[in-house]
Chain A
Amino acid sequence: MIYADNAATTKMSGAAMNAMLNCMEETWGNPSSLYGLGQRAKEALEDARERIAACIGASPKEITFTSGGSEADNQAICSAAALGARNRKRHIISTTFEHHAVLHTLKKLEGEGFEVELLPVGELGTVTARQVAEAVREDTALVTIMYANNEIGSILPIAEIGAVCRKQGVPFHTDAVQAAGHLPIDVKAQNIDLLSLSAHKFHGPKGIGVLCARQGIPLSSLIEGGAQERGKRAGTENVPAIVGMAAALEEACARLEENTAKVSALRDRLIAGLSQIPHAALNGDPVNRLPGNVNFCFEGIEGESLLLLLDDQGICASSGSACTSGSLDPSHVLLSIGRPHEVAHGSLRLSLCEENTEVEVDTILKAVPEIVGYLRNMSPLWKDKVSGKKKFIL
């Protein structure tokens, strides 16, 4: 099997699994309990908090554990919105290609009277700090812009946007789910007030994430109950997952440069090879791009068929076609960078990690053109383009 869907989830690292197993055997108590077993669990929890904070330039008090990236996004945005509303600020700036955890939360806030302004992301899929500066108003309650896009891999100028927001006194949240463990993060240097991350994107366990909130930004809780996480997130902490996340993040950050060099070389080999396919186009920013992300549109074919045939050859990938999203429309990300529906249906995302090899990339490079050719050969849409009856788009 060739696993090339690391943006969907990653395989857990040995370090993370060992940390979790050890925790489940030795420190399985409830961190809120007074006796030794509970207090040892509490120590493991706080140790993990310190280590995670150190990885992203935060202080431990700024770290709140959540069930993952979606919860962190929801809580960050709702907290900033509540804070804004108390000061009669009801304007929120974001982008058209955020994750649904952000966009759907913003939609809900729109229903509650907030005005949401989604900045266009252009053909490369990015926004500039200048766009943000021009959009900020006196009543802006929040700017929420992702660090890197999960589908097309564009990396956004987060530090510059952070500087604009800090200067204007507007809270800045970034969904760093795709960035954490893969790109450098320093919440202080980058002027990030709120940041979301999720462990299973960097070889940690699923169902655990972090909301990092700068001191002075009050969080509203989404889940009421006990006083865990300083009253900001009720429920007994998932200590094994938290220590697994800490181990995974430390490892990813320690090897960040080495992994980036290796993975981006594999990515560029894959991009160069797939670019040879006629009437195909790379999606996203070719330069400011996540090390592992490859995303192409192939004209005249549909993405799900491509995925099924790749799966038959043991290659795991994903697509933004409507058929794979389970809705009428293809990926909102591909539409937001101006791909027409027809072309967006024929998209393929391959996301690599440091465990992938050149041999695997070459296997993919052999499989994809063959399958694309096979599917085009049975596609009446492709035939119409070849015959000149319809125009090529790519």
Chain B
Amino acid sequence: MALYSEKVMDHFRNPRNVGVIEDADGVGEVGNAVCGDIMKIYLKIEDGIVSDVKFETFGCGSAIASSSMATELIKGKPLSEALKLTNRAVTEALDGLPAHKLHCSVLAEEAIRAAVKDYYDRQGIAYDPKDFPDCGSCEGCHG
């Protein structure tokens, strides 16, 4: 059996929404170089809708595929829905990830949350900090 599902390989080989939004309304970056994966998400918000989203990722195949799938899942969706995107939803949409790669989908979820939080901060929109917990230590996912 191959390491990755065909869905993962498709999103890895042909990632959707790669790039930068120069005039983004919110930008989120999570992960670190020491662990070997960093994800950066750019959001364009119009009337409470994610009108455009782009990503940049430093990481393995599943990190790139998770970023790609996560951007697809939130594009054109209301911000409230984007915030509800879970790593499980990303994993399921990719037809699963190997156990030791699940942290990549967590990173995708966290990157989107970080971008939304940045949007709220820039707009001065009030939010409950409890909705934006820190990713925490890498061991939680990697260990």
Interfacial residues, chain A to chain B (CB-CB below 8 A) = 300-305, 308-309, 312, 321-323, 326, 328, 330, 340-342, 345, 378-383
**Given known contacts A328-B35, A342-B34, is B60 in contact with A380 (CB within 8 Å)?**
no
Identify B100's interface contact among A301, A303, A309, A326, CB under 8 A: A326
B38–A322 touching, CB < 8 Å: no
A304–B139 touching, CB < 8 Å: no
* Cβ–Cβ < 8 Å partners of B18 in chain A: 378
Q: Smallest distance from the beta carbon of A371 to chain B beta carbons, Å?
A: 12
Listed A/B pairs (16) with beta-carbon separation below 8 Å: A302-B36, A302-B58, A303-B60, A305-B63, A322-B36, A330-B36, A340-B34, A341-B35, A342-B36, A378-B15, A378-B18, A378-B19, A379-B56, A379-B58, A380-B38, A380-B39
A321–B34 touching, CB < 8 Å: no
The list of the 8 closest CB pairs from A to B, nearest first, reads: A323-B60, A342-B33, A304-B60, A345-B36, A379-B58, A380-B40, A381-B58, A380-B56
Interfacial residues, chain B to chain A (CB-CB below 8 A) = 9, 12-13, 15, 18-19, 29, 33-40, 56-61, 63-64, 100-101, 138-139, 142-143
With A302-B63, A323-B61 already in contact, 4 other A-B pairs whose C-beta atoms are closer than 8 Å: A302-B60, A305-B60, A323-B101, A379-B38
Q: Smallest distance from the beta carbon of B110 to chain A beta carbons, Å?
A: 14
* Cβ–Cβ < 8 Å partners of A322 in chain B: 35-36, 142
* Cβ–Cβ < 8 Å partners of A345 in chain B: 33, 36
Identify A341's interface contact among B33, B40, B100, CB under 8 A: B33
* Cβ–Cβ < 8 Å partners of A302 in chain B: 36-37, 58-60, 63
* Cβ–Cβ < 8 Å partners of B139 in chain A: 328
Interface on chain A toward B: helix, strand, loop, or mixed SS? helix
B64–A378 touching, CB < 8 Å: yes
**Given known contacts A328-B143, A379-B56, is B36 in contact with A321 (CB within 8 Å)?**
yes
Q: Smallest distance from the beta carbon of A385 to chain B beta carbons, Å?
A: 10
Tell which of B9, B56, B59, B61 has the most Cβ of chain A within 10 Å.
Answer: B59
Q: Smallest distance from the beta carbon of B36 to chain A beta carbons, Å?
A: 4
Residue of B nearest to A340 (CB): B34
A380–B29 touching, CB < 8 Å: yes
* Cβ–Cβ < 8 Å partners of B29 in chain A: 380
* Cβ–Cβ < 8 Å partners of A308 in chain B: 9, 12, 61
Q: Smallest distance from the beta carbon of B132 to chain A beta carbons, Å?
A: 20
Residue of B nearest to A326 (CB): B100
Residue of A nearest to B100 (CB): A326
Q: Smallest distance from the beta carbon of B35 to chain A beta carbons, Å?
A: 7
Residue of A nearest to B104 (CB): A323
Identify A305's interface contact among B35, B61, B101, CB under 8 A: B61
Identify A300's interface contact among B58, B64, B101, B142, CB under 8 A: B58
Q: Smallest distance from the beta carbon of B119 to chain A beta carbons, Å?
A: 18
Q: Smallest distance from the beta carbon of A285 to chain B beta carbons, Å?
A: 26
A381–B38 touching, CB < 8 Å: yes
- The CA-CA distance from A302 to B18 in the complex, in Å, is 17
Q: Smallest distance from the beta carbon of B55 to chain A beta carbons, Å?
A: 8
Tell which of A302, A309, A341, A342 has the most Cβ of chain B within 10 Å.
Answer: A302
- The CA-CA distance from A382 to B142 in the complex, in Å, is 23
* Cβ–Cβ < 8 Å partners of B38 in chain A: 379-381
